Structure 1
Amino acid sequence: MYPNTFSEFLFKLNGTPLRVLDPSIDNSNYIALDLSEDNEALQMVDVSSSSKLENYITNHIKKHNALVAFGGYNENRNIYKRSNYFNLETAKERNIHIGMDLWYDAHSPVFTPLDATVHSFKNNINYGDYGPTIILKHHINNVDFYTLYGHLNLASIENLKVNQFIKQGELLGLLGDASVNGDYPPHLHFQIIKDLQGFKGDYPGVCNKADLDFYLENCPNPNLLLKL
């Protein structure tokens, strides 16, 4: 059932869904969203435009009478072709998403799903990048791991301190809009990371096919915690 023992550990951490968005939003108000290159409906959308992509996502949410769209783990996407950041000549094209995206309104609160300390934070300003980003460190049952929160607003990282304790359920920050979040529709990129490999305030959320096996093991499916 589980790809590795770390995934099993994560799944068994909580019997009920953990929340990174408003905890009053029931699972029934989340709707899965396919942004993969295989989604034929997206071929009619200019995904290089944050406003046009936002219209597509908003209509998808309304169509299903939901509040939040989610998905994207291990999803091969075309939306990164717009940015040289993912397609440098010195590297293989990165187009496989290895976190979970939660598409919701700008300035909505983001909460800490588990007790944590602040590992690092940074405003990643490359076009198509995370924008303001926070990485938390968790130490549970003698196991260390990290969670990453990308596409926040600038205020979310203004008063943070490294090693600051943040209790489960405490406000972590707010979602940013396209002007600060890498030019995307408002959403949270949520990612679990076993080994940060020395990164601070940043960690790859998109990888290439050659490195996929490593990243899927190092970054298990966030739905192990969210249980959507």
Structure 2
Amino acid sequence: MNLFSEALDTAFIKPISVLGIPNTGKNYISIDLSETNEKLIDVDVSSSEKFSQYIETYLRDHNSDVAYGGYLESRNIYKRSTHFNQQNSDTERNIHLGVDLWCPKGTKVLAALDGEIHSFRNNTNYGDYGPTIILKHVVQKMDFYALYGHLSLESIEGLKEGDKIKQGECIGYLGASQVNGDYPPHLHFQIIKDLQGFIGDYPGVCSKADLEFYKTNCPDPNILLKLF
């Protein structure tokens, strides 16, 4: 764990919520969407409808409201999009850098911490984030950022960079597949130390070649969420 990760882990002891669905300890379930999950072999993840059916069935079978996971997970679901897919296996972007929380469209998205709106944007590439908000935070005099992807279009209407946000404030809602990059509804939540000049966007998936850098720059969001 690097100094940035240690600072977050030390500063935030209690679990932090980023959804309007309270975690009772029984209604959040982990989900494996990695390339090694044999149950996904027969699921057409290029179809948001069929992918959504898989997520909905998984939640129903586990009597849960939210399915979570995915940090540093190698996934095949990005092969459907030229936004991620490359010919060289070392440069193909398929390693997920945030935590996904899968639940119904329209679910409230909450600010993890006090901060301000750094930027926002509708990232419209196929398989991209769709509407996205990035908040800026400070911990132990260190700036860092939290990215919220796959929101509704209404979530980024009327926003202004620099607006102050309080922890637990509703900053938006989960978008439907028609606007969120063509995925089942979910929140992509990612912590970023250095935004590297990005505005309203930041890579949420990386290649094997770049993994060591991103592991340091984008630590496990579970440091804040403490879901497991």
Q: Into which bin does the TM-score normalised by the smaller protein fall?
A: over 0.9
Pairing 1:89-108 to 2, within 5 Å after superposition: 92-108=91-107
Q: Provide the C-alpha distance between the structure 2 equivalents of 1:136 and 1:18, rounded to a whole number of angstroms.
A: 15
Q: Distance in 1 between matches of 2:215 and 2:115?
A: 23
Structure 2 portions without partners, runs of 5+ = none
Match of 2:134 in 1: 135
Q: How far apart are residue 14 of structure 1 and its match?
A: 2.0
Most deviating of 81-90 and 165-174: 81-90
- 1:27 Cα deviation after fit: 3.1
Distance of 1:23 and 1:133 partners within structure 2: 20
Matches within 5 A, 1:33-182: 33-88=31-86, 92-182=91-181
Task: State the secondary structure of the residue aligned to 1:76.
Answer: coil
Q: 2:179 corresponds to which letter in structure 1?
A: V
Q: Distance in 2 between matches of 1:40 and 1:77?
A: 12
Deviates more, 1:4-13 or 1:88-97: 88-97
2:217 aligned with 1:223, yes or no? Answer: no
1:191 aligns with 2:179: no
Q: Could you report, residue by residue, the CA deviation over 1:161-208 in whole angstroms, capped at 9, with x for unpaired residues?
A: 000000111111000000000000000000000000000000000000
**Equivalent residue of 1:121, what SS?**
strand
Q: Deviations over 1:124-160 (max 9, x none)?
A: 0000000000000001221110000000000110111
2:30 is the alignment partner of 1:32: yes
Shift of 1:88: 4.7
| Equivalent of residue 21 in structure 1, options 19, 22, 26 | 19
Matches of 1:64 and 1:108 in 2, distance apart? 19
Letter in 2 for 1:126: N
Change (3 A) 1:70 1:199: same
**How far apart, CA to CA, are the structure 1 residues paired with 2:14 and 2:57?**
29
Amino acid at match of 1:133: T
Match of 1:27, SS? Answer: coil
Distance of 1:23 and 1:89 partners within structure 2: 40
8 Å Cα contact 2:7/2:140 also seen in 1:
no
Q: Which residue of 2 aligns with 1:201?
A: 200
Q: CA deviation at 1:5?
A: 1.6
State percent identity of aligned pairs: 61
The Cα RMSD (Å) is 1.3
Give the 3-state SS of the residue equivalent to 1:128 in structure 2. Answer: coil
Q: 1:13·1:225 contact (CA, 8 Å) conserved in 2? A: no
Residue 212 of structure 1 is matched in structure 2 by 211
Question: 2:39 aligns to what SS in structure 1?
Answer: helix
1:63 positional shift: 1.2
Superposition deviation, residue 28 in structure 1: 2.2
Shift of 1:57: 1.1
Q: How many residues align?
A: 226
Q: Is the 8 A contact 2:21 2:107 kept in 1?
A: no
Deviating more after overlay: 68-77 vs 16-25: 16-25
TM-score, reference length from structure 2 = 0.96
